[in-house]
């Protein structure tokens, strides 16, 4: 599949299709741990995101020889436990898209949830572009599922309370929904999340993915995340102020006379 984790589309023994992200992938195992935690949190916020599963890759799995990382060399993928992001629809029957044309945004059934994802990314210090996948579930309506959450928590758990991170790079669809309103709703939902939700995923994550010191580092990060939860409104207000200043600046730039316009005016006077 596209992307830096070098994932593969695989079929599980349950017959379902998964995008498999493998242990020891080029982005590191912390990204897999992040995926598990974020999946639980987004689900608790009632945001559409694919179900995750822990996949067991055996030595005799069909097509085993085709699974490898392409780094400088061909690096084999070890047998054991890996992460599967379940395709929300059967990809043999229904097309799954990484992007929707603008003309179809109005047909997104869960458009109002996108701001919740925006607020989540601010809270969780997502340092990568926010990605969604899109598919038509029934009728002419599309659904957006939030994917690719490995780079949350400053990627390497370098969260600091109250720090403002570069907000997720502007995704065109955000300009289409009522972002302020749904992000505000997201902020309140995040604030109301019980602490237990933050720690719930921890127990389900395979121990093989943890390196030395990761347990302590993860706990420290989750505690910081909990502190940031209380300050989210403040963070959000700062972001809103910054956005407003940016809008004012670009409006001012637009109303300033353009050089080419001044030149043609002068040209018109000369012609008289």
Ligand X SMILES: Nc1ncnc2c1ncn2[C@@H]1O[C@H](COP(=O)(O)OP(=O)(O)O)[C@@H](O)[C@H]1O
* Residues contributing to the site for Mg ion (CB under 5 A): 3, 148
Work out what residue 109 binds among Mg ion, ligand X, none; the CB cut-off runs from 5 to 8 Å by kind.
Answer: none
Among 47, 123, 144, 150, binds ligand X (CB under 6 A): 150
Partner that binds at residue 85, options ligand X, Mg ion, none, CB closer than 5 to 8 Å by kind: ligand X
Identify the residue whose tokens are 């990627």.
Answer: 155
Rule CB under 6 A: is residue 117 a binding residue for ligand X? Answer: no
DSSP string, 7-75: -EEEE-TTS-EEEEE-TT-TT-HHHHHHHHHHHHHHHHTT-----EEEEEEPTT-TTGGG-EEESSSEE
Supply the minimum distance, in Å, between the C-beta of residue 78 and ligand X: 18
Least Å from the CB of residue 148 to Mg ion: 4
Q: Is 168 in the site for ligand X (CB under 6 A)?
A: no
Q: Please, which contacts does 1-5 make with residues 24 or more away whose CB atoms are closer than 8 Å?
A: 2/98, 3/148, 5/31, 5/150
Residue by residue, DSSP assigns 107-119 as GBTTGGGHHHHHH
Span near ligand X by CB under 6 A; candidates 1-9, 111-119, 238-246, 262-270:
1-9
Q: What is the closest distance, in whole angstroms, from the C-beta atom of residue 149 to ligand X in the complex?
A: 8
Owner of token pair 């997720």: 168
Binding to ligand X in span 97-116, by CB under 6 A? 98
Q: Is 2 in the site for ligand X (CB under 6 A)?
A: yes
**148 binds ligand X, rule: CB under 6 A:** yes
| Nearer to ligand X (CB atom), residue 90 or residue 219 | 90
Cα separation, 232 vs 119, whole angstroms: 9
Answer yes or no: are the C-beta atoms of 41 and 121 closer than 8 Å: no
- Token couple for 70: 């392409």
Q: Which of 96, 124, 177, 221 binds ligand X (CB under 6 A)?
A: 96
19 near ligand X (CB under 6 A): yes
Q: At residue 217, what are phi and psi to the nearest 5 degrees?
A: -60, -40
4 binds, among ligand X, Mg ion, none (CB under 5 to 8 A by kind): ligand X
133 binds, among Mg ion, ligand X, none (CB under 5 to 8 A by kind): ligand X
The residue among 147 and 159 lying less far from Mg ion, judged by its C-beta, is 147
Name the residue nearer to ligand X (CB basis): 131 or 238. Answer: 131
Under the criterion CB under 6 A, does residue 85 sit at the interface with ligand X?
yes
First CA to last CA distance, the chain? 64
Under rule CB under 6 A, residue 87 binds ligand X = yes
DSSP three-state, residue 194: coil
- Give the CA-trace dihedral at 233, 236, 241, 247, to 10 degrees: -150
Stretch that binds ligand X, among 103-111, 146-154, 165-173, 181-189 (CB under 6 A): 146-154
Q: Which does 87 bind (CB under 5 to 8 A by kind): Mg ion, ligand X, none?
A: ligand X
Q: Residue 1 and residue 3: Cα distance in Å, rounded? A: 6
């Amino acid at each position: 599949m596209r992307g830096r984790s070098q994932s593969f589309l695989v079929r599980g023994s349950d017959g379902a299709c998964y995008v498999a992200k493998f242990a020891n992938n080029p982005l590191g195992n912390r990204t897999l741990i992040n995926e598990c935690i974020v999946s639980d949190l987004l689900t608790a916020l009632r945001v559409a995101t694919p179900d995750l599963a822990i996949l067991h890759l055996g030595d005799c799995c069909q097509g085993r020889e085709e699974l490898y990382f392409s780094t400088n060399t061909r690096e084999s993928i070890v047998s054991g436990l890996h992460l599967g992001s379940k395709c929300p629809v059967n990809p043999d029957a229904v097309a799954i898209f990484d992007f929707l044309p603008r003309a179809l945004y109005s047909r997104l059934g869960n458009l109002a949830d996108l701001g919740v994802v925006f607020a989540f990314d601010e809270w969780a210090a997502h340092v990568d572009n926010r990605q969604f996948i899109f598919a038509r579930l029934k009728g002419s309506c599309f659904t957006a599922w939030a994917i690719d959450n490995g780079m949350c928590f400053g990627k390497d758990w370098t969260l600091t309370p109250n720090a403002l991170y570069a907000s997720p790079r502007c995704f065109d669809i955000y300009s289409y929904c009522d972002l302020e309103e749904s992000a505000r709703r997201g902020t309140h939902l995040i604030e109301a999340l019980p602490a237990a939700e933050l720690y719930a995923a921890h127990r389900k994550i395979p121990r093989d993915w943890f390196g030395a010191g990761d347990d302590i580092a993860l706990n420290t990060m989750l505690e910081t995340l909990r502190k940031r939860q209380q300050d989210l409104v403040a963070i959000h207000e700062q972001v809103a102020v910054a956005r407003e200043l940016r809008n004012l600046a670009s409006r001012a730039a637009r109303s300033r006379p353009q050089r080419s316009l001044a030149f043609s005016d002068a040209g018109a006077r000369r012609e008289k």
